[in-house]
Amino acid sequence: MKIFTSEQIYAADRFTIEKQQITSDILMERASVQIFEWMNSRLQGAQVKIHLFCGIGNNGGDGIALARHLQEHGYSIGVYVVNYSEKRSKDFLLNLDRLKERKLWPEFLDSECEFPELGRDDIIVDAIFGIGLNRNPDNWVATLIQHINSSSAFILSVDIPSGLYMEQLPSSSDNVIRANHVLSFQAPKLAFFLPQTGVYINQWELLDIGLDAEFLYKTKTGYEFIGKPEVLPMYRPRLKFSHKGNYGHSLIIGGSYGKIGAVQLAGKACLEIGGGLLTALIPECGYTTLQTALPEAMVITCDNDDLIDDISYEIQPTVIGVGMGMGLDKVSIKAFSAFIEKNNIPLVVDADGLNIISKNPKLLKNLPKQTVLTPHPKELERLLGKWNDDFDKLEKAKSFSKKYDCIIVIKGAHTIVVYKDVGFINSTGNPGMATAGSGDVLAGMITGLISQGYEPLSAAIFGVYLHGLSGDLVVSDNGYEAVTSSKLVGHIGKAFMELFRRPEQEQNKEIKEV
Ligand SMILES: NC(=O)C1=CN([C@@H]2O[C@H](COP(=O)(O)OP(=O)(O)OC[C@H]3O[C@@H](n4cnc5c(N)ncnc54)[C@H](OP(=O)(O)O)[C@@H]3O)[C@@H](O)[C@H]2O)[C@H](O)CC1
Ligand SMILES: [K+]
């Protein structure tokens, strides 16, 4: 699913209005009806107090139109216009008139006013600012926002939490509504997914207001949200007359004394995701352990007992995953650098491999095209240098990806795979996955997909999705705390099966139709 900028959304509005031969207030009416139906289906007429805080633009207009629907259905409402500007939008004014015709006069709030009392069992509709926010709210509006935030009432934000910009950080957290739930129109917003701005949103959901589908489809965006519909077409079915050679030969290089487990996790993940053959190149000390723990793997060892000191092999791998558990001893740095200089086989670089590259950026020009880099935040900072904020981080990652033709997997709550001008934001995963070895598993999974013939970009996007889905399945069986990387590996097969599981309603419908 595409993630649009505010300009693109405004352009989609204009196009839709023209093509569907409608007036702009029809879109506002669709938006408010959708929100009303969402609320009504949950509240079923309950007489809980609903406070609607409405700005003077179209976000406020949505709130005012919603107030009309709520009133017509007998809900107990309080409507407040947050009068932060004299420049009211046309459709806000139209809906304000419609409300007044029904003898409902909102209370106008300004810097002089006392704010309404809000009970902890009340519901607040936040329609102060939408995607049109372009400067910091005035102090009194920020004070109102804090008043709302401190109420403990349930906060439902219209389109985006008020005070949150589409493409930059708020200057202070006091300026932003902390939404329990956001009902966003047509497409999610980038700010929902970044660590610094996602904290203002507990949950979000989309409402379809009928913007022109073809226009949205044709609009090129800088970000995409990756869910099941996006990854299903990437899946490559296994063929009846295939053999293990069809699924490639992965080489995993890494490990050091005390960190052989990293290679074991990556190697096992590589096989569980469907890789054909696996060879591990590790220091001598891990030989028995790895052969025992992972009998499916072939193991070759360096001369050095404890460290990778030489990367040479006689096999012809399809793909190489390198760096996990390798350490930063100078013999390993030397061996890794010499390997990168001569290697031209597709590559996934993780952990210490990334750290070595950061210290010696000249190596970057030797990476094969579309090498997949899987940094965690600290490793990313070593690669890219410091960034100002999460938006800047993504821009820097895009420039880096273009400069070196590499794919960067920015690991986080919503892992983002960046390739050139586009960031692919993952939808699966959970906080339980912040656990030792989780990154080794991911690197192994991506390696195993490339080995089977997936293009590196698809392998990164699909691998990240399946990794998160495995984590979600582990949580549903074990809870968050007990997620371990071994369990993640053990759930990769179930994650594939989950991909093809249809929702229960769909299955029931079929049974009834039969
Ligand atoms: N396609 C859709 O998704 C639709 C969404 N709708 C809703 O419309 C809003 C966007 O409405 P818009 O009127 O463009 O913007 P806002 O309501 O967010 O803001 C209104 C104006 O306020 C001014 N502004 C911005 N920041 C501040 C500030 N800090 N203090 C004071 N004033 C501010 C700004 O105007 P200026 O000319 O003064 O710069 C804004 O334009 C969207 O979020 C949805 O809720 C439609 O209902 C249907 C289509
Ligand atoms: K809002």
Residue 513 counted as domain residue: no
Q: What share of the chain is helix, strand, coil (3-state, %, to 5)?
A: 45, 15, 35
Residue 378 counted as domain residue: yes
Is residue 86 in contact with ligand 1, taking CB distance under 6 Å?
Answer: no
Q: What pLDDT is attached to residue 144?
A: 97
Cα-to-chain-centroid distance, residue 165: 18
Is residue 57 in contact with ligand 1, taking CB distance under 6 Å?
Answer: yes
> Does the annotation place 58 within a ligand binding site?
yes
Residue nearest to atom 46 of ligand 1 (CA): 28
Are 253 and 210 within one domain? no
Residue 241 counted as domain residue: no
Q: What pLDDT is attached to residue 246?
A: 85
Q: What pLDDT is attached to residue 240?
A: 84
Neighbours of 141 (CB within 10 A): 22
Contact assessment for residue 191 and residue 165, using Cβ atoms and an 8 Å cutoff: yes
Sheet holding 347-350, edge to edge: 2-3, 223-226, 422-426, 416-419, 406-410, 371-374, 347-350, 319-322, 249-253, 277-282, 298-301
CB half-sphere exposure, 295, CA atoms < 13 A: 1
From the list 151, 195, 206, the residue with the least C-alpha distance to 177 is: 151
Task: For residue 168, give every residue at least 6 positions away whose Cβ sits within 8 Å of its Cβ, in sequence order, or none.
Answer: 389, 391
Three-class DSSP labels, 297-316: CEEEECCCCCCCCCCCCCCC
Looking at residue 127, its amino acid is: A
Residue 240 counted as domain residue: no
Task: For residue 497, give every residue at least 6 positions away whose Cβ sits within 8 Å of its Cβ, in sequence order, or none.
Answer: none
pLDDT tens for the chain, 514 residues long, are 999 999 999 999 999 999 999 999 999 999 999 999 999 999 999 999 999 999 999 999 999 999 999 999 999 999 999 999 999 999 999 999 999 999 999 999 999 889 999 999 999 999 999 999 999 999 999 999 999 999 999 999 999 999 999 999 999 999 999 999 999 999 999 999 999 999 999 999 999 999 999 999 999 999 999 999 999 999 999 888 887 778 999 999 999 999 999 999 999 999 999 999 999 999 999 999 999 999 999 999 999 999 999 999 999 999 999 999 999 999 999 999 999 999 999 999 999 999 999 999 999 999 999 999 999 999 999 999 999 999 999 999 999 999 999 999 999 999 999 999 999 999 999 999 999 999 999 999 999 999 999 999 999 999 999 999 999 999 999 999 999 999 999 999 999 999 998 776 665 565 555 5
Ligand located closest to 162 CA: 2
State the CATH number of the domain containing residue 383: 3.40.1190.20
Q: What pLDDT is attached to residue 244?
A: 75
Distance in Å, CA 56 to ligand 1 centroid = 8
Ligand located closest to 55 CA: 1
Residue 230 counted as domain residue: no
Residue 293 counted as domain residue: yes
> Does the annotation place 59 within a ligand binding site?
yes
Cα-to-chain-centroid distance, residue 282: 34
Are 262 and 207 within one domain? no
Looking at residue 388, its amino acid is: N
Are 212 and 347 within one domain? no
Contact assessment for residue 493 and residue 272, using Cβ atoms and an 8 Å cutoff: yes
Are 256 and 194 within one domain? no
Are 210 and 271 within one domain? no
Is residue 63 in contact with ligand 1, taking CB distance under 6 Å?
Answer: no
CA angle in degrees (0–180, nearest 5) for 407-408-414: 125
Name 92's bridge partners. none
Residue 237 counted as domain residue: no
Distance in Å, CA 66 to ligand 2 centroid = 13
| CA 392/CA 9 separation, integer angstroms | 22
Element (H, E) at 18: helix 6-19
Ligand located closest to 59 CA: 1
Q: What pLDDT is attached to residue 511?
A: 54
Are 199 and 253 within one domain? no
Contact assessment for residue 58 and residue 89, using Cβ atoms and an 8 Å cutoff: yes
Neighbours of ion ligand 2 (CB under 5 A): 126, 157-158, 162
Contact assessment for residue 488 and residue 480, using Cβ atoms and an 8 Å cutoff: no
Are 287 and 174 within one domain? no
Is residue 31 in contact with ligand 1, taking CB distance under 6 Å?
Answer: yes
Q: Is 209 exposed, middle or buried (0-12, 13-18, 19+ CB in 10 A)?
A: buried
Three-class DSSP labels, 232-291: HHHCCCCCCCCCHHHHCEEEEECCCCCCHHHHHHHHHHHHHCCCCEEEEEECHHHHHHHH
Backbone angles phi, psi at 200, to 5 degrees: -85, -5
ipTM reported for the complex, 2 dp: 0.99
CA angle in degrees (0–180, nearest 5) for 380-317-464: 40
Is residue 58 in contact with ligand 1, taking CB distance under 6 Å?
Answer: yes
Q: What pLDDT is attached to residue 241?
A: 83
Instruction: Record the tokens describing residue 479, joined without a space.
Output: 């809870």
Q: What pLDDT is attached to residue 509?
A: 61
DSSP summary character for residue 363: G
Rounded to two decimals, what is the model's pTM?
0.95
| CA 382/CA 375 separation, integer angstroms | 9
Are 88 and 140 within one domain? yes
Ligand located closest to 53 CA: 2
| CA 219/CA 225 separation, integer angstroms | 15
| CA 94/CA 71 separation, integer angstroms | 17
| CA 437/CA 342 separation, integer angstroms | 29
Q: What pLDDT is attached to residue 274?
A: 96
Is residue 62 in contact with ligand 1, taking CB distance under 6 Å?
Answer: yes
DSSP summary character for residue 483: -
| CA 445/CA 242 separation, integer angstroms | 20
Are 263 and 400 within one domain? yes
DSSP summary character for residue 161: -
Tell me the best of 133, 135, 157, 177 to mutate to test the pocket of ligand 1, counting ligand atoms within 8 Å of each CB and taking the most. Answer: 133
State the CATH number of the domain containing residue 65: 3.40.50.10260
Give me the number of domains the chain comprises.
2
| CA 337/CA 269 separation, integer angstroms | 26
Is residue 85 in contact with ligand 1, taking CB distance under 6 Å?
Answer: yes
Are 68 and 186 within one domain? yes
Range of the domain at 345: 246-499
Are 291 and 436 within one domain? yes
- Closest atom of ligand 1 to CA, residue 9: 1
Residue 225 counted as domain residue: no
Contact assessment for residue 71 and residue 95, using Cβ atoms and an 8 Å cutoff: no
Contact assessment for residue 51 and residue 81, using Cβ atoms and an 8 Å cutoff: no
Instruction: Record the tokens describing residue 229, joined without a space.
Output: 């519909």
| CA 174/CA 157 separation, integer angstroms | 16
Are 392 and 459 within one domain? yes
